[in-house]
Chain A
Amino acid sequence: MPQIALENIVKDYPVGSATIAAVRNATTSVERGQFVSIVGHSGSGKTTLLSLIGGMVRPTAGRVLFNGQDVYAWDSDRLSEYRCEKVGFMFQSASLLPVLTARENLLLPAAFHSKPAAGHERRAEDLLRAVGLGDKLHAYPSQLSGGQQRRVAIARAFMNEPELILADEPTGDLDEETESEMMQFFLRMNAERGTTFLMVTHNSDLAGRARQRFRMDRGELTVLQ
């Protein structure tokens, strides 16, 4: 059984009286432990595709299956648990909570976990060190650079040890060196823990290092290899 299966997924956004077809009839599957890159022009539906898989946007038609289960057949709480415990999402835009420190931002997903593991405080600090922010544990987002905030958000996605990471241009505003470090980190998590990665990127070099490649083009999903 594939970890993720998309069955004839359609997502239309109503805009006024018209509708925008953000995803058109996408069908594919991803095995557990895969590393998938997603490329495509701006507005081609990449973010929408990740959101559909991440349990955040209900499809207009079709089914999203996670380990064989229809994600959107679950009730609101079960869907929240899925987002909290199975998925780690790295958003395209800034997504830290401004009143919380870097460390507290990482503790938040643990606070939403239905069975929080012991030692999550330790884990939060370890993760921040892993992304090179060991000296910024108690810094507020406003005290961090854009790239540093981005890395906090990356670390946060790993907090609840998810089976699946959905990364929407996670290294977009990082310098080349940091970008490469983050990529190493992702590949290591993928290799060591078998975490599945779906990563939107404009960097063709990074895209090339993925084992499976998707392309979005005006809502059409094509699997490149």
Chain B
Amino acid sequence: MHTLVTFAFKNVRRKPARTAILIFAIALLVSALVFSISFVQRVNGSIKRTSERLGADLIVVPNNARGAAEEVLLENQTKSFYMDRSILDRVRAIDGVAVVTEQIYLVTLSTMCCSVPEAMVVAFNPETDFIIKPWLAEKLKRPLAKGEAVAGAESSFNIRLGLVDVNSKLFGNEFKLVGSLDKTGTGLDNAVFITLDNMDQIIKSGAAGKLKPSDISIIFVRVKPGVDPSRIAAKVEDTIIEADAVSRRDIGRNVITALKDISRIFTMTIILAAVMSFFLVWAIFTAIANERAKEVGIMRAIGAKESHIMRLYLIEVLTVGVIGSLLGILAGSALSAVFSSTFSIVQQLSTSLTLTERVVIALVSFLGGTLICVLGALGPVRRLKGLEPLLVIKTE
């Protein structure tokens, strides 16, 4: 076995330029795999985690604000949208609804109202809230009082950096920052949270533009056990024309749809790269098979079994595949790190991949690259292994 491995390694080094091209092609394929799987996985994972962390079975937002709401919840975008508070009672009244809670989204604009960079301010109802409370419990052992604010994990980071000065005025009111939240992986990590009872003063100050006291932005709904959230969502859509409802399963569907196009481009690129790599490996190993036919004849004549020939060439192919795949994983990871920041969709995501996810992606890509290599070489190598020892005797 040792002799065969040495032999295979020597074969790999026989035509360095040719081997380099092969390794490069496989590396390219694998890096494309790593990059695109990471990208798609990161977006998908982030959406899934968000809808889990939100703890609501469905959300109700103003008509046509569905996209904006998802951008707030998933992508850290700052958006505001409003509907009338009466919708809250109408949703609560729907059969199957367990609890509801409302929030109001305000966008701070550094030029207009507040001495902070553009950020989301979320006013929530501490009486009914079940969204913020779980995140808050850890940090603050008492309910949030009027005139107090807590910061999301990311914005508190900004505050610590001095980018945001909370003690200055927020919508014409003084707030005292009393804590910060854990990282949730949702877009709300960038927000600052206050309670609803501050809204009167904010509206009175006129700093919140044309916001009316009866305006709310979003309603979070929990359904009763055994009730299908999408049925409630449909009911809301039917009975409340001013509102859109999105069930937990559908949160992020807009983002996913946008992602589908990107995924499709990735998939096409990868299929193309895989087909090209396959044919490159096939062509090179066909050439190798022709060049080394006599050598294989010699080996067969001195007693090599077909399995020995197969093994010898598989080691060669695997060596190329493994080196190419490893380089590809390095390149793909670097590419992900550098270029994912140019996709705004990823830039906005607050979560990154876990170590396990990274390892799995690397493993999958590695297997993909190596498999293409082996598949491409299989045909030529199988033809080689069947060679009769005759050749060596004949050629003079």
Contacts and interface: CB of A to CB of B under 8 A. Distances in A.
Q: Does B bind A?
A: yes
A85 B308 CA distance: 15
A109 interface: yes
User: Which of B3, B7, B390 has the largest count of A CB atoms less than 10 A from its CB?
Assistant: B3
A100 B295 CA distance: 11
Interface of A: 47, 51, 54, 56-57, 76-77, 80-81, 83-85, 89, 91-93, 95-100, 104, 107-113, 156, 160
User: Which of A95, A109, A111, A113 has the largest count of B CB atoms less than 10 A from its CB?
Assistant: A111
Interface in B1-40: 1-4, 6-7, 10-11, 14
Contact of A76 (B10, B305, B395): B305
User: Which of A47, A93, A97 has the largest count of B CB atoms less than 10 A from its CB?
Assistant: A97
A160 B308 CA distance: 17
Contacts of B305: 76-77, 80-81, 112
Nearest to B307: A77
A84 B302 contact: yes
A91 B1 contact: no
B312 to A, nearest CB: 9
Contacts of B6: 104
Contacts of A92: 393, 396
Given A97-B295, A100-B10, A108 B393 contact: no
Contact of B302 (A51, A89, A93, A100): A89
A112 B390 contact: no
A98 B3 CA distance: 15
B88 interface: no
B393 A51 contact: yes
B392 to A, nearest CB: 6
B3 A91 contact: no
B393 A81 contact: no
Contacts of A77: 305-307
B94 to A, nearest CB: 75
Q: Label chain B's interface by main secondary structure.
A: helix
A92 B393 CA distance: 7
Nearest to B390: A57
Interface in B291-306: 295, 298-306
User: Which of B6, B295, B389 has the largest count of A CB atoms less than 10 A from its CB?
Assistant: B389
Nearest to B396: A93
Given A51-B393, A93-B396, A99-B7, A56 B308 contact: no
A195 B392 CA distance: 24
Given A76-B305, A76-B306, A112-B299, A93 B395 contact: yes
15 contacts: A51-B393, A56-B388, A57-B393, A77-B307, A80-B303, A81-B305, A83-B301, A83-B302, A89-B301, A95-B301, A99-B10, A108-B3, A108-B7, A108-B299, A160-B303
A107 B3 contact: yes
Contacts of A110: 3
Given A97-B7, A97-B299, 15 more contacts: A47-B393, A51-B390, A56-B390, A76-B306, A80-B304, A91-B301, A91-B393, A93-B396, A95-B301, A104-B7, A107-B3, A108-B302, A110-B3, A111-B308, A112-B304
Contacts of A56: 301, 388-390, 393
Contacts of A99: 7, 10-11, 14
Given A51-B393, A100-B7, A100-B10, A156 B302 contact: yes
Contact of A95 (B1, B2, B298, B390): B298
A84 B303 contact: yes
Interface in B180-194: none
A140 B316 CA distance: 20
Contacts of B10: 99-100
Q: Enumerate the 6 nearest inter-chain pairs by beta-carbon distance, A residue then B residue, closest first.
A: A84-B303, A111-B3, A80-B305, A83-B303, A56-B389, A99-B10
A112 B10 CA distance: 18
Contacts of A100: 7, 10
A124 to B, nearest CB: 10
B85 to A, nearest CB: 82
Contacts of B4: 111
A81 B300 CA distance: 10
Interface string B300-326: 111111111000000000000000000
A85 B3 contact: no
Given A112-B302, A160-B303, A104 B392 contact: no
B303 A95 contact: no
